[in-house]
């Protein structure tokens, strides 16, 4: 997905939020905004929004002299989500359609995203879970995912954020774990999950986990080393979680299931759905065009 002009105000808001989270020093907040102006003026709108965010957050980490300012928050979110796991795991197992329930909860987990919202109360999380279980959803896409997973020999599951990965674990547990490799980021970027987060929530005990060698908030293949790009190339199926992965991979000619909540108006517009819609769509290798099942709010 290219960068839309509406993304520009958001770059500044996110940069400011991140700067304030990283330090109380107001002179650094101002420097972050000024550097974001500098970075943005040369931007190529044909690149995806995470390409710009990557540069902005690199600069923030340099200015605050902290390689991972989101680390305490990621740890808190992992902990919070793990407490929910014990409640949600039997809910998935005992549901009528465990795969659909797990997909719905994986999307619920996508709301725990500091890139879009900088604070989130615990009651918000519970409300999001309930809503995700009850909202309209495309059942046929779940069955298509089930069939494609059955056919695939090896599957890459591209993870999104810390905390959220506990919800991904619920979904991964409903899939043939032997076929799956879960992918974290190669270096700190916002609250995206790293290997230490996968370890913290026990994902490494269930599936093989690798990192993509990149510090982009999404999957920008050009920023990943050859080893990861080969793995991506050779995978029969990709499951890509969250807005960042959608923004960076929606144009890629490969079988990819995108699982996300369309949180911002730009992504919702690109997906031709209302803001807040739970999304499970497949993009096909046969055509660059999206062949996602129709959005059907009454389904």
- What is the binding site for a second copy (CB under 8 A)? 5-6, 8-10, 12-13, 16, 29-30, 33-34, 37-38, 40-41, 45
Q: Which residue matches tokens 């890629």?
A: 252
Long-range contacts of 294-298 (CB under 8 A, 24+ apart): 294/138, 295/138, 296/136, 296/138, 297/136, 298/136
- For residues 77 and 170, give the distance between their C-alpha atoms in angstroms, rounded to a whole number: 16
- For residues 206 and 119, give the distance between their C-alpha atoms in angstroms, rounded to a whole number: 30
Residues in the chain: 299
Output the CA torsion 190→193→196→200 (10° steps): 120
Q: Which is nearer to a second copy, 16 or 210 (CB)?
A: 16
Q: Which is nearer to a second copy, 35 or 164 (CB)?
A: 35
CB of 172 to a second copy, least distance (A): 37
Question: How many C-beta neighbours within 10 Å does residue 202 have?
Answer: 13
CB of 155 to a second copy, least distance (A): 39
CB of 22 to a second copy, least distance (A): 14
CB of 218 to a second copy, least distance (A): 21
Q: Which is nearer to a second copy, 206 or 275 (CB)?
A: 275
CB of 275 to a second copy, least distance (A): 16
Q: Which is nearer to a second copy, 31 or 95 (CB)?
A: 31
Q: Which is nearer to a second copy, 9 or 153 (CB)?
A: 9
> Whose CA is closest to 60, among 24, 98, 90, 15?
15
């Amino acid at each position: 997905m290219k960068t839309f002009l509406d993304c520009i105000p958001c770059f500044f808001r996110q940069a400011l939020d991140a700067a304030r989270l990283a330090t109380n020093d107001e002179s650094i907040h101002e420097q972050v905004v000024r550097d974001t102006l500098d970075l943005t003026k040369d931007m190529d709108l044909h690149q995806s929004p995470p390409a710009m965010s990557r540069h902005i957050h690199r600069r923030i980490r340099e200015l605050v002299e902290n390689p991972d300012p989101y680390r305490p928050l990621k740890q808190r979110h992992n902990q919070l989500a793990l407490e929910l796991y014990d409640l949600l795991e039997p809910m998935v197992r005992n549901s009528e359609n465990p795969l659909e329930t797990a997909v719905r909860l994986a999307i619920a987990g996508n709301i725990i995203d500091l890139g879009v919202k900088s604070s989130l109360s615990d009651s918000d999380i519970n409300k999001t879970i309930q809503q995700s279980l009850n909202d309209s959803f495309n059942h046929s896409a779940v069955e298509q995912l089930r069939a494609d997973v059955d056919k695939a020999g090896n599957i890459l599951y591209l993870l999104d954020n810390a905390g959220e990965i506990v919800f991904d674990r619920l979904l991964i547990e409903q899939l043939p774990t032997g076929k799956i490799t879960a992918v974290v980021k190669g270096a700190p970027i916002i609250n995206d999950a790293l290997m230490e987060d996968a370890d913290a929530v026990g994902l490494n005990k269930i599936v093989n986990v690798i990192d993509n060698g990149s510090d982009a908030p999404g999957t920008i293949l050009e920023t990943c080393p050859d080893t990861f790009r080969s793995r991506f190339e050779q995978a029969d199926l990709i499951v890509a979680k969250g807005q960042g992965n959608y923004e960076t991979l929606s144009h890629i000619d490969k079988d990819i299931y995108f699982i996300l909540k369309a949180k911002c108006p730009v992504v919702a517009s690109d997906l031709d759905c209302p803001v807040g819609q739970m999304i499970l769509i497949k993009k096909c290798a046969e055509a660059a065009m999206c062949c996602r099942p129709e959005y059907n709010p009454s389904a």
